[in-house]
């Protein structure tokens, strides 16, 4: 298939592009580079060995989006583009609603006009809200605790409504748990701008000497070691889940399918820290501080539906995730180059 990957220069998108090409798909990318560097494209081309057409514009620009669909043959779309920082979304709610909803509106309108009806959407485990029991299942009610999370709840609902109106659509809502790790080459990885919000990028920067120590947000949760538990999934496994979901959309009768992409295993903050220390080969400095507002004690997937319906299972271990994250960070201490 010829697959348009929105946000294809970003963290998860870039890893997915590599696996799409490996699976025999033609890929084209749209990205406005608001949270990505052009250098990633050259690295993707050297890994895949193919020239990747990149369209650098903002998807909210409906005219440019329409122009792209009018001039390119596209069979399916994987829609990663969006803003993703929870804290920032609380400070700039309108920017999050505008970007994450606006980009989806112009994309889906252009798809409908050109009768392209296969869409894979990047949703998130954040749609399970604050009080969901674990493991989390796709039929749980959805809610959110911050504007970022609400954009995911809302886009899911918008896409379900599109599918009711136009039942020939085939839409996958993929709810990712906590993506971490990097391509095994160490040349593609996560490159957060500013101070990392997420655990593994923060530990990586401590390990490489860019931050003094990890601050562990709370050790008084009712979890085995008191720190919060998450379902960390290797970005390579996550990328494979997209390739599997795309294949499944070609054969399913359901207009909308929702799949959790997680391992089903919870790991604590200390589990992650210690796995990272094994990757680096020495202890890393940390201190325990108070809980972070909005955090929940435990989140992990029931990935059974994706295992069964996609024939997909996450296979990479936490040690593997940390080893790959460390290879990327140690080879690229400052992330991607600017030029």
Token couple for 244: 């599997």
Interface positions, 130-169, toward ligand WQD (CB under 6 A): none
Catalytic residue, candidates 128, 148, 202, 221: 148
Question: Binds 197, which of ligand NAD, ligand WQD, none (CB < 5 to 8 A, cut-off by type)?
Answer: ligand WQD
Interface positions, 18-37, toward ligand NAD (CB under 6 A): 30-36
Tokens 């601050």 — which residue? Answer: 215
When binding is defined by CB under 6 A, the residue of 39, 47, 48, 58 that contacts ligand NAD is: 58
Nearest-angstrom CA–CA distance, 40 and 11: 9
Question: Binds 295, which of ligand WQD, ligand NAD, none (CB < 5 to 8 A, cut-off by type)?
Answer: ligand WQD
Give the alpha-carbon dihedral of 172, 125, 140, 299, to 10 degrees. Answer: 150
Interface positions, 64-123, toward ligand NAD (CB under 6 A): 80-84, 99, 103, 122
Nearest-angstrom CA–CA distance, 204 and 188: 14
Closest distance of CB 131 from ligand NAD, Å: 19
Start-to-end CA span in the chain (Å):
32
> Does 60 contact ligand NAD by CB under 6 A?
yes
Nearest Cα neighbor of 302 from 209, 159, 177 is: 177
SS in 3 state form for 71-137?
HCCCCEEEECCCCCCHHHHHHCHHHHHHHHHHHHHHHHHHHHHCCCCEEEEEEEHHHECCCCCCCEC
Token couple for 296: 């929940």
> Does 230 contact ligand WQD by CB under 6 A?
yes
Nearest residue to ligand NAD on Cβ basis = 10
Site string for ligand WQD, 43-82 (x = CB under 6 A): ----------------------------------------
Report yes or no: 268 and 229 within 8 Å, Cβ to Cβ: yes
Site string for ligand NAD, 155-194 (x = CB under 6 A): ---------------------x--x---------------
DSSP alpha helix (H) spans, the chain: 11-22, 39-48, 62-71, 86-91, 93-113, 147-165, 199-207, 235-249, 269-280, 304-310, 318-331
Residue 29: Cβ-neighbour burial (10 angstroms; 0-12, 13-18, 19+): buried
Question: Binds 269, which of ligand NAD, ligand WQD, none (CB < 5 to 8 A, cut-off by type)?
Answer: ligand WQD
Closer residue to ligand WQD, CB minimum distance, 86 or 310: 86
Closer residue to ligand WQD, CB minimum distance, 197 or 330: 197
> Does 10 contact ligand NAD by CB under 6 A?
yes
Q: In degrees, to the nearest 5, what angle opens at C-alpha 336 toward C-alphas 332 and 339? A: 130
Closest distance of CB 69 from ligand WQD, Å: 27
Interface positions, 241-270, toward ligand WQD (CB under 6 A): 269
11 flagged as catalytic:
no
Closest distance of CB 112 from ligand WQD, Å: 26
C-alpha 33: how far from its chain's center? Answer: 16
Site string for ligand WQD, 276-315 (x = CB under 6 A): ----------------x--x--------------------
Closest distance of CB 30 from ligand NAD, Å: 6
Report yes or no: 135 and 298 within 8 Å, Cβ to Cβ: no
Residues that bind ligand NAD (CB under 6 A): 7, 9-13, 30-36, 58-60, 80-84, 99, 103, 122, 124, 176, 179
- Tell me the catalytic residues: 148
């Amino acid at each position: 298939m010829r697959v348009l990957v929105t946000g294809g220069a970003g963290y998860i998108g870039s890893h997915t592009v590599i696996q799409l090409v490996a699976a025999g798909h033609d890929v084209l990318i749209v990205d406005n580079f608001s949270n990505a560097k052009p250098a990633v494209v050259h690295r993707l081309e050297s890994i895949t060995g193919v020239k990747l057409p990149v369209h650098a514009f903002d998807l909210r620009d409906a005219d440019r989006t329409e122009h792209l669909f009018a001039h390119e043959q596209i069979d399916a779309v994987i829609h990663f583009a969006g803003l993703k920082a929870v804290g920032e979304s609380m400070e700039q709610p309108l920017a999050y609603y505008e970007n994450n909803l606006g980009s989806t509106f112009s994309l889906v309108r252009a798809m409908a006009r050109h009768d392209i009806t296969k869409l894979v959407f990047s949703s998130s485990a954040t749609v399970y809200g604050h009080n969901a029991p674990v493991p989390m299942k796709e039929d749980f009610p959805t809610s959110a605790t911050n504007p970022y999370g609400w954009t995911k709840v809302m886009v899911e609902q918008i896409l379900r409504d599109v599918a009711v109106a136009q039942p020939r659509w085939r839409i996958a809502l993929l709810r990712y748990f906590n993506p971490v790790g990097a391509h095994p080459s160490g040349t593609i990885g996560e490159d957060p701008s500013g101070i990392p919000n997420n655990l593994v990028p923060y530990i990586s920067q401590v390990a490489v000497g860019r931050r003094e120590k990890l601050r562990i947000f709370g050790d008084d949760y009712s979890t085995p070691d008191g720190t919060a538990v998450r379902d960390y999934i290797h970005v390579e496994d996550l990328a494979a889940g997209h390739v599997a979901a795309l294949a499944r959309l070609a054969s399913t009768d359901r207009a909308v399918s929702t799949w959790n992409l997680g391992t089903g295993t919870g790991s604590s903050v200390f589990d992650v820290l210690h796995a990272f220390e094994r990757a680096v080969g020495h202890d890393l400095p940390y201190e325990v501080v108070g809980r972070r507002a909005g955090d929940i004690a435990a989140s992990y997937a029931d990935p059974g539906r994706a295992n069964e319906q996609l024939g997909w299972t996450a296979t990479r271990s936490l040690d593997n995730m940390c080893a790959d994250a460390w290879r990327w960070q140690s080879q690229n201490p400052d992330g991607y180059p600017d030029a």
